[in-house]
Amino acid sequence: MSFLKPSAAIRKGVAGLATDTTQSTRSHASRCISQSNARADDSNGTSVAPRLQLPKQQHSEDVLKLARLANDARHNDQQLTQLLIKTDPPLDQAKAYRVAAAICHLRMQEGERPIGRKIGFTNRNIWSEYNIDASNWSYIYNTTKQDIRTDCKKQSSQPVNIMEMSNLEPKLEPEIILHLAKKPNSGMTDVQILHCVDWVSHGFEIVQSIFHGWKFSAADTTAAFALHGRLLIGAKVPVAKLGGSSEDVVKRLETFKISLSKNGEVVDQGGGGNVLGSPIEALRHLCGLLEQDEHNAPLVAGETVTTGTLTRAWELQDGEVWSTEVEGIDLPGLQQTFRIRD
């Protein structure tokens, strides 16, 4: 029995679904590069790309089965008909991180490279909306990280093409992105963690769900890339250019405000305090999770970390114009459109 939900495109052109979850129809890496108008890029112009080393391990067959199932859903732009936690044996959060490691190995075999992390569900204000009670994380890849070059009016020159996730109910999240010059740890003070960061950016994460209607458990999302689809990075501002002392920068990251608009109308407001108290605290939380994880790669210098949505996550439709205004910290706002359908 297949766990894949047929998409509209597949219903039109295929008389049935293959149930073999050990193979994908095409490489996500090649698809992402060919369909995106702007190449996902792991270079920031000054830093050496990180070299993440996953622990050597032998994945169990049930972990590999779930990894292939989730990865194939992403490849095929198809949602699953059943939650992963309902498989036998059942999935819990600890096992979900083993699935995440197995997925990373699969994607590396396909030519992708992990170059950072996304932290999910750091905004406690949305926990009840998704029936979630904890944050999580997943890998960012060279194929899912994309610079969006903006002009002085903050408007990107071209729509971002996300057609490869058109059937996965994509949503938009405005976020703060941190780039690591040094490896932080959970025992550091806020200022010490800031000193591990060389630039800060405001960007958009495009999240996706291989589960219909965004109905899932926390373990499901951890095993499904923590919902990561694409990371769009705006202007990269060196920490030294944010002004003031390190203590001032830490405070501004905690207290700045942001407004999110769709087609020129404000739809949501948020701020740095929404992500576990601040982006610095979110990074500390990630450090703590990884320090207890024997299956996944530890943080290394050169990684890009996006710290979670500053507002609610908003459903994307083709051609909409999404923009932000940032107050309280010297980071430019963004304006971006998206191509989701042909």
214: left (phi over 0), alpha (psi -120 to 50) or beta: left
119 has pLDDT over 70: yes
Rounded distance between C-alpha atoms, residue 236 and residue 299, angstroms: 20
* Coil, helix or strand at residue 284: helix
Identify the pLDDT of residue 150. 60
Percent of the chain with pLDDT over 90: 77
* DSSP characters over 180-240: ESS---TTS-HHHHHTTEEEEEEEEEEE--SBGGG---HHHHHHTGGGEEEEEEEEEEEGG
Which residue, among 108, 94, 106, has the nearest Cα to 69 in the 3D structure? 106
* Coil, helix or strand at residue 100: helix
Residue 329, token pair as written in the block: 């910290």
| pLDDT mean across residues, the chain | 87
Pick the residue with more confidence: 112 or 149?
A: 112
pLDDT (tens digit, 9 = 90+) per residue, 218-232?
A: 999 999 999 999 999
Identify the pLDDT of residue 30. 32
29 has pLDDT over 90: no
Contacts of residue 289, Cβ cutoff 8 Å, sequence gap at least 6: 136, 137
Identify the pLDDT of residue 155. 57
Q: Which fold has domain 4-339?
A: Fumarylacetoacetate hydrolase; domain 2 (3.90.850)
Rounded distance between C-alpha atoms, residue 11 and residue 9, angstroms: 5
Rounded distance between C-alpha atoms, residue 274 and residue 127, angstroms: 12
Among 2-6, 46-50, 155-159, name the one with the lowest average pLDDT: 2-6
Percent of the chain with pLDDT over 70: 83
Rounded distance between C-alpha atoms, residue 109 and residue 29, angstroms: 11
Confidence of residue 34 (pLDDT cuts 50, 70, 90): very low
pLDDT (tens digit, 9 = 90+) per residue, 258-307?
A: 999 999 999 999 999 999 999 999 999 999 999 999 999 999 999 999 99
Residue appearing with tokens 């689809």: 229
Tell me the mean pLDDT in the region 147-161.
Answer: 71
28 has pLDDT over 80: no
Which residue, among 137, 135, 144, has the nearest Cα to 115 in the 3D structure? 144
Contacts of residue 214, Cβ cutoff 8 Å, sequence gap at least 6: 130, 169, 171
Residue 87, token pair as written in the block: 């498989």
